[in-house]
Structure 1
Amino acid sequence: METSLYLVSNVIRIYAISIFLDSFFGNLKCKRIIKIIAYISYYFIGSLVWIISQNTNINLVINTAAIILISILYRATWKKRVFSAIWVCAVGMFIDWIAFSILGNSQFVQSGFLQYVLLLDLAFLFRHLYHRHIEYSSKSPYFLLILLVSLGTIAVGILTVNDSSKHDIIVAIILLLINLINFYTYHLEQDRLKNKHMVELIQASNDAYQNQLKIMETSQREMRYLRHDMQKHLNTMRRMLQEKEYAEVQEYLTTIENAIIVKEEYSKTGNRDVDSLINYELALASDLGTAIMCRIDLPAELNISSFDMTVILGNLLDNAIEALRQSENKRLLLSMKLTRGIVRIDIENSYNPKQKKKADQKQHGIGLLSVSHTLEKYHGDLKHYVEDNNKYHTTVTMFNGTE
């Protein structure tokens, strides 16, 4: 009877853990069927280990390791994966201690039924309060402190909670509250990082707009000069035609054309978001001595928000430019077009695989992660691959607007 109750209770526990992880990490990076198989495997292995050993320490190690392995199916950093595993196990342990302290060794407590129902209630409350849709960089300077607090509460619980005395009940409740407050602190820190990330994106967008204003100012200044001297230019070309100096007229027209065209203006779609970002980013690439090819075929109006366009296009071009800094033969190809309601972005940049730094790889990954999450709003897709070991291709497809 006790084993049957435990097997039923463990189903509830696994379901509660899945709710915690889904809410904490957000979207999967694999197919849903793989997630289901992973949780079923976790259930059977965990149940078998507990039935055979009945050892709390072994069970704790197995559960912590299993949760970390399952977290690989989600998009997250390793720090966050380890933290989630320790936190979930800590909460489960403290609920166990509270149940044993209050009700003793009753059958429902020994089987875990009562504890796991309570854990499921907490999981639903957690999902309601903390369901995260977007993953941001978790480079928090307080991460180790938060992790140590969780580990410390587990150690205190193991050393102090031994029986069903009032003292032990109070200690178990306090330890549980410490973990809840600890997690809420982590939640606040993640929100701070999210806001910081947004401010950085807004700043990048503002820099791009300022650059576009400079380009427009330069273009208008060149046009004013040209209009001021237009009569003189016409008289000069008229004289050349009268004297049949046709080659000189062609050369003179080329000079006028070069004076009109602003070299820094790579994109002229009329879409201020696209034009500003592209002109700003490609000007940075040009300063590195990059050979640039740019083909933009977009309407003046798109149903993609300015903020999302900054996230998608800005991160992709930032990653490409960072790779160009370490490349010898610098080449950058950018293509954007709208076809049948689908926006496609193609970026090809050269890079040096031997000089790729770990810090750059981390920022590159964070940028692509941010792009992927933003693309989900537009039912988009991000693909990237390497060609000839020195060309990096990135392709984005997304619907022109959300449903």
Structure 2
Amino acid sequence: MEYYLINVMCNICLMFVIRQFLGDFFQFDTEKKLKRIILSCCWLLGTFGVNEWLHIPLLNLTANILMMLLVSCVYEGNILKKLLVCIMIAVLGAACDMLAYAVTTPFLKENEYYYSFTFTVVFLLIIERVMGVTIRREKTWNIVGKEMLALSGFPLMSVIILYCVTAMDSGIYKLVACICVVGMSLLSVNLYNGLAVNLSDSLRKEQLEREVEAYKHEMDLMRISKRKEENLRHDLRHHLFEIEGLAKQGKNQKVCDYIEDLRRTFVDSKGAIHTGEYETDSLINYLIDSAKNNQIAVECDIKIPEDIDVSHCKLNVIVGNLLENAIDAAGKSETKKVILTMHFSGGILFLQLKNTYVGNIRIENGYVQGKRNSSGHGIGLRSVQDLVKEQNGALDIKIEDDYFVVEGMIPLA
């Protein structure tokens, strides 16, 4: 009875650790909580039954991997990544089993070996917590090159370990098993270090490419503006003659219209946004121009004093990501409209971004729940909310008059 009680309790804890592992690599769809509970129960019953009735290590490992893969169905990601992660978890579990057995053998009687199960759970949880710090959630990662080779080593070593476990009476098999465990540990460290570096480089490259495009767009606007101003300066005498003629005829309204046309000639070619930070202006102007090229109406109301320093609050990242998200969502809707408002008052920057959208959006506790859907909202907003909180600000998300609305305030003092 004691054996079954400890076994069941440890399996429940292992299920928790496995879900933590999957959460480190993949985004969980909160709309599938009930399904995850059902699949978790299936894993508990399936693995317990196989382990108790069939004492074949390779078959037990295979069943464990398949049941974990079934649980991973409620997480986002492609099947290959899920399979590789499940294999990794299973192999790490086997290594923790061996380590727990080696640690507890000197202290336990032969018929009390099942107490080592608790050590297995603890060791696996420690590994998960270390990896959880390394792997960034809500991000995709690409398995290429040596990372794929490292992952391929896990199932191979698991087969060797399982074979060695069945022949533990021989010293050479124990030595080979220990070498494989050490090798898996080294491979896992190398693998996740490589994944972290690749992820960081990929994100940095993506950000730089977007900034380069924004700067290029800003330079194009400046060249167009300069050319129009040169043309206006060259033709200024002719324009003055025209204005003078209209004025002498008493056509005041036509004079005003003519001047307005001249003003619009070069004003429209300049950037529509001025936040006081060149990087932010370039990025937002680039996104707005891109939206207009896709027939998305963009309205802006920016009122920020020129002497206000906004560089320290990462405004280009916050507004840039929000605007990009809004444009993407509005582009899928029928109305296609985005409204950006930014005001500064009392040492606080207030911003509001409204966009049309299509589909259903569920908001709970200020967060968009569920996986990213056809509305274009979801996961990306969470990183922006975290960044705003780092600036001691606040971000609110709501649905208002058929608009998806993001309102925030960031202290600049």
C-alpha distance in structure 2 between counterparts of 1:396 and 1:116, whole Å: 47
Letter of the 1:25 counterpart: F
- Which of these residues, 127, 130, 134, is aligned with residue 129 of structure 2? 127
1:45 alignment partner in structure 2: 45
Letter of the 2:255 counterpart: V
C-alpha distance in structure 2 between counterparts of 1:182 and 1:381, whole Å: 43
How big is the shift at 1:117?
1.1
Counterparts in 2 of 1:208 and 1:255: CA distance versus 1, 3 Å? same
Deviates more, 1:35-44 or 1:227-236: 35-44
Q: Is the 8 A contact 1:12 1:120 kept in 2?
A: no
Q: Is the 8 A contact 1:25 1:75 kept in 2?
A: no
Q: Is the 8 A contact 1:311 1:370 kept in 2?
A: no
- SS of 2:271's partner is coil
1:344 alignment partner in structure 2: 352
Alignment of 1:236-247 (within 5 A): 236-246=242-252
Counterparts in 2 of 1:291 and 1:122: CA distance versus 1, 3 Å? closer
1:373 alignment partner in structure 2: 383
1:211 alignment partner in structure 2: 217
C-alpha distance in structure 2 between counterparts of 1:138 and 1:53, whole Å: 38
C-alpha distance in structure 2 between counterparts of 1:98 and 1:17, whole Å: 18
CA deviations on 1:204-254 (whole Å, 9 max, x unpaired) are: 123213422442454355446546765664454233221234464344224
Letter of the 2:273 counterpart: S
How big is the shift at 1:89?
0.9
Q: How many residues align?
A: 377
Counterparts in 2 of 1:70 and 1:394: CA distance versus 1, 3 Å? farther
C-alpha distance in structure 2 between counterparts of 1:304 and 1:196, whole Å: 23
Counterparts in 2 of 1:193 and 1:129: CA distance versus 1, 3 Å? closer
2:95 alignment partner in structure 1: 94
Counterparts in 2 of 1:311 and 1:225: CA distance versus 1, 3 Å? closer
1:156 aligns with 2:160: yes
Letter of the 1:137 counterpart: T
TM-score w.r.t. the length of structure 2 is 0.70
1:200 alignment partner in structure 2: 206
Alignment of 1:109-120 (within 5 A): 109=113, 111=114, 113-120=115-122
C-alpha distance in structure 1 between counterparts of 2:178 and 2:303, whole Å: 60
Letter of the 1:92 counterpart: G
- Which of these residues, 326, 330, 337, is aligned with residue 333 of structure 1? 337
CA deviations on 1:87-108 (whole Å, 9 max, x unpaired) are: 1111222333466689499234
1:140 alignment partner in structure 2: 143
How big is the shift at 1:120?
1.6
1:356 alignment partner in structure 2: none
How big is the shift at 1:169?
1.6
User: Aligned residues: percent identity?
Assistant: 16
How big is the shift at 1:194?
2.5
Deviates more, 1:196-205 or 1:306-315: 306-315
1:9 aligns with 2:13: no
C-alpha distance in structure 1 between counterparts of 2:226 and 2:270, whole Å: 13
Q: Is the 8 A contact 1:273 1:306 kept in 2?
A: no
- SS of 1:140's partner is coil
How big is the shift at 1:292?
3.4
Alignment of 1:4-403 (within 5 A): 4-22=5-23, 24-25=24-25, 28-30=28-30, 37=37, 41=41, 44-45=44-45, 49=49, 53=53, 55=55, 56=57, 59-72=60-73, 76-97=77-98, 103=105, 106-109=110-113, 111=114, 113-128=115-130, 130-131=132-133, 132-142=135-145, 144-164=148-168, 165-187=170-192, 188-219=194-225, 222-223=228-229, 226=232, 233-246=239-252, 248-263=254-269, 265-287=271-293, 290=295, 292-297=297-302, 299=304, 304-306=313-315, 308-309=317-318, 312-313=321-322, 315-316=324-325, 319=328, 332-338=336-342, 343-348=351-356, 369-378=379-388, 380=395, 396-400=406-410
Q: Is the 8 A contact 2:100 2:116 kept in 1?
A: yes
- SS of 1:117's partner is helix
Counterparts in 2 of 1:255 and 1:19: CA distance versus 1, 3 Å? closer
Q: Is the 8 A contact 1:64 1:86 kept in 2?
A: yes
Q: Is the 8 A contact 2:327 2:338 kept in 1?
A: no
C-alpha distance in structure 1 between counterparts of 2:235 and 2:128, whole Å: 71
C-alpha distance in structure 1 between counterparts of 2:319 and 2:203, whole Å: 12
Structure 2, gaps ≥5 residues long: 359-371, 390-394
How big is the shift at 1:134?
4.1
C-alpha distance in structure 1 between counterparts of 2:320 and 2:137, whole Å: 12
How big is the shift at 1:153?
1.9
2:368 alignment partner in structure 1: none
C-alpha distance in structure 1 between counterparts of 2:303 and 2:42, whole Å: 49
C-alpha distance in structure 2 between counterparts of 1:196 and 1:225, whole Å: 44
Counterparts in 2 of 1:40 and 1:106: CA distance versus 1, 3 Å? farther
- SS of 1:137's partner is coil
1:355 alignment partner in structure 2: none
Q: Is the 8 A contact 2:93 2:124 kept in 1?
A: no
Q: Is the 8 A contact 1:346 1:395 kept in 2?
A: yes
1:353 alignment partner in structure 2: none
Counterparts in 2 of 1:137 and 1:36: CA distance versus 1, 3 Å? closer
TM-score w.r.t. the length of structure 1 is 0.71
The RMSD of aligned alpha carbons is 4.7
Q: Is the 8 A contact 1:265 1:279 kept in 2?
A: yes
- SS of 2:250's partner is coil
How big is the shift at 1:32?
12
